Structure 1
């Protein structure tokens, strides 16, 4: 599906080492904060961020007419690199974007200068099954990944049973409430900043509801994530997890254990989002990692 148009933008000098920022499932590229990007550019990096298909300003798809899988979403990453003339880049992935970055590091190591994984789960670990069982109140399989925090489970159970929002304001109120849960309990929650961000996300989306197609894409190819392959990652790897991660607590350590030579960094107070308090620390860690 190369006819799908993907929105992207880049910052910094074209001669600087490139960093590709890969955001999580159903998430727009602007969730990589401008201030975080500015720190990376000031540190001498060329930074690229983009909207996944069915999010933001990238094309929305009639999934019933033209179904796709996460293989296509992965191929969009290569298309972004190619369009910007980048043969290899430092990959920085958040949440499901971290899964994509891990997969690319396994399957096409020649395109990965280094790997940074933030708030993610180990490739092939069955994260989706763990989340669904937690939401449905079903017992987890022996040896499964750690469950999300109780407040995360409670919020999404309520959300699944609630009627759809009636208008823009109600939708944005719900988006802010969701961000509050994802933010975690380790740092104060800046509701004004959260509302500004969610209004921006709402207003720049062609169709906000189209992001749900990512779930359909995952269901269409449930074996998308190969298991037992992280030992094949050759790129220097930095794994970052917040001390108050509500979605994937402890998953970062499991990634670091499986990738040879990987380093784990715990960011104090951070949950599953990237609030202003951690921008400088997070950027410094990425700059140091990508300089090696």
Structure 2
């Protein structure tokens, strides 16, 4: 395992590499406002043990990557997308297997459309279809607005209740309260289909806090998304040529049923449903997740 700070247009990105450099490369792309270490170490270890070279990284404004004053140095989600390509460049990779989670799946889908030569295979986990404008669906759900006909399925009630309450909650009074809120968010995102380990979640969130240059900087991702209404072009998923694996848990609270829509719109895509899994990568699902990805990337 080795770590490396790379630079893209003046922005430092923290990266970490595992495995033999001669093995097939997998780049792990996390979701919005989320550090790369949310790809669990045990899950990464399974991929490496199966003969994969694995790279994970912190998005800009998360973890150990650079943070910015957004008003002075604005950027868009197109820049976050381009960071994915710059990580590949930094490791001398013309292409890689992209494994993407949540909003990272949007990044992966758009790269597969725009730069197909850089994507050996695409795996999206707990994601929404490009062009579905899932953010608008969530906003309507949180504000009690009706969903237009034909929109994506909204989040589950427990997800809506949790984030609706957060919208009016005061800022955390101290670190202890911050960790408590992060644990409760983790509980909601795990979906309730499998046992929730509060102690493990506490250790993870303490790690997230300790690694963050500025935890509040993650909100810049929302500003960046709002700054590029053209980020989600519609009707383009049929142009994806990379072999695509779509994974969704039966207890997905944030994007229920979105995986099936991706699989339907991407030619030849395979849909894998994992029993009990919510939005996060539960330890009891690591073996099945890793085995599926190893099979998919064996090409």
TM-score computed with the length of structure 1 as normaliser: 0.99
Structure 1: state its 5+ residue gaps: none
Task: Name structure 2 gaps, 5 residues minimum.
Answer: 1-7
CA displacement at 1:117 relative to structure 2 = 0.4
Is 1:206 aligned with 2:213? yes
Residue 176 in structure 1 maps to residue 190 in structure 2: no
For the aligned residue pairs, the C-alpha RMSD in angstroms reads 0.6
- Of the candidates 62, 71, 86, which is equivalent to residue 79 of structure 1? 86
Query: Paired residue for 1:34?
Result: 41
Match among 14, 21, 30 for residue 7 of structure 1: 14
CA shift for structure 1 position 275? 1.3
Matched, 1:123 2:130: yes
Residues of 1 paired with 2:241 and 2:260: CA distance? 18
The 2-side partners of 1:87 and 1:205 are apart by: 30
Offset, 1:178: 0.2
Q: What does 1:75-224 correspond to in 2, within 5 Å?
A: 75-224=82-231
What is the TM-score when the length of structure 2 is the normalising length?
Answer: 0.97
Q: Render the CA deviation track for 1:84-110: whole Å, top value 9, x for unaligned.
A: 111100000000001100000000000
Q: How many residue pairs get matched?
A: 292
Moved over 2 A (4+): none
- 2:25 is aligned to 18
Q: In 2, Cα distance between the equivalents of 1:245 and 1:227?
A: 24
Q: Choose which of 260, 277, 287 in structure 2 pairs with 1:253.
A: 260
